[in-house]
Amino acid sequence: MVKFLEKMILSDKDYEYLTKGIAIGVGTGVLIGTIIGNVTLTFAAGGVIGILSAFIYSIYKRRRVNG
Protein backbone atom coordinates (compact mmCIF):
# COMPACT_ATOMS: atom_id res chain seq x y z
CA MET A 1 0.00 0.00 0.00
CA VAL A 2 2.85 2.38 0.82
CA LYS A 3 4.57 1.81 -2.55
CA PHE A 4 1.28 2.54 -4.31
CA LEU A 5 0.95 5.84 -2.48
CA GLU A 6 4.56 6.73 -3.24
CA LYS A 7 3.92 6.19 -6.95
CA MET A 8 0.88 8.50 -6.85
CA ILE A 9 2.85 11.44 -5.42
CA LEU A 10 3.93 13.83 -8.15
CA SER A 11 7.40 15.29 -8.27
CA ASP A 12 8.19 18.83 -9.40
CA LYS A 13 9.03 17.54 -12.87
CA ASP A 14 5.71 15.68 -13.02
CA TYR A 15 3.88 18.91 -12.18
CA GLU A 16 5.83 20.68 -14.90
CA TYR A 17 4.90 18.03 -17.48
CA LEU A 18 1.27 18.19 -16.35
CA THR A 19 0.97 21.96 -16.60
CA LYS A 20 2.68 22.05 -19.98
CA GLY A 21 0.48 19.21 -21.24
CA ILE A 22 -2.70 20.96 -20.14
CA ALA A 23 -1.61 24.29 -21.61
CA ILE A 24 -0.61 22.81 -24.95
CA GLY A 25 -3.72 20.61 -25.13
CA VAL A 26 -6.14 23.39 -24.27
CA GLY A 27 -4.42 25.87 -26.58
CA THR A 28 -4.50 23.44 -29.46
CA GLY A 29 -8.12 22.60 -28.68
CA VAL A 30 -9.15 26.24 -28.79
CA LEU A 31 -7.36 26.80 -32.10
CA ILE A 32 -8.96 23.74 -33.66
CA GLY A 33 -12.31 24.72 -32.13
CA THR A 34 -12.27 28.12 -33.80
CA ILE A 35 -11.71 26.45 -37.15
CA ILE A 36 -14.33 23.73 -36.62
CA GLY A 37 -16.80 25.96 -34.83
CA ASN A 38 -17.14 24.09 -31.54
CA VAL A 39 -14.66 25.66 -29.12
CA THR A 40 -16.20 24.17 -25.97
CA LEU A 41 -15.86 20.57 -27.12
CA THR A 42 -12.34 20.91 -28.44
CA PHE A 43 -11.25 22.89 -25.36
CA ALA A 44 -12.36 20.05 -23.11
CA ALA A 45 -10.97 17.35 -25.39
CA GLY A 46 -7.64 19.16 -25.63
CA GLY A 47 -7.43 19.38 -21.85
CA VAL A 48 -8.10 15.68 -21.43
CA ILE A 49 -5.63 14.75 -24.15
CA GLY A 50 -3.05 17.04 -22.56
CA ILE A 51 -3.47 15.42 -19.15
CA LEU A 52 -3.25 11.90 -20.58
CA SER A 53 -0.21 12.69 -22.70
CA ALA A 54 1.56 14.32 -19.73
CA PHE A 55 0.81 11.25 -17.62
CA ILE A 56 2.19 8.91 -20.27
CA TYR A 57 5.27 11.10 -20.80
CA SER A 58 5.90 11.22 -17.07
CA ILE A 59 5.77 7.42 -16.82
CA TYR A 60 8.09 7.16 -19.83
CA LYS A 61 10.63 9.51 -18.25
CA ARG A 62 10.53 7.61 -14.93
CA ARG A 63 11.10 4.26 -16.63
CA ARG A 64 13.91 5.66 -18.78
CA VAL A 65 15.76 7.09 -15.77
CA ASN A 66 15.22 4.06 -13.51
CA GLY A 67 15.66 1.33 -16.07
Determine the 3-state secondary structure of 11 from DSSP.
Answer: coil
CA within 13 Å, CB half, 67: 6
Separation between Cα atoms, residue 57 and residue 33, nearest integer Å: 25
CB contact at 8 A, 29 and 45: yes
- What is the reported pTM? 0.79
CB contact at 8 A, 43 and 30: yes
pLDDT in tens, 9-66: 778 888 898 999 999 999 999 999 999 999 999 999 999 999 999 989 988 888 887 7
Q: Where are the domains of the chain?
A: 10-66
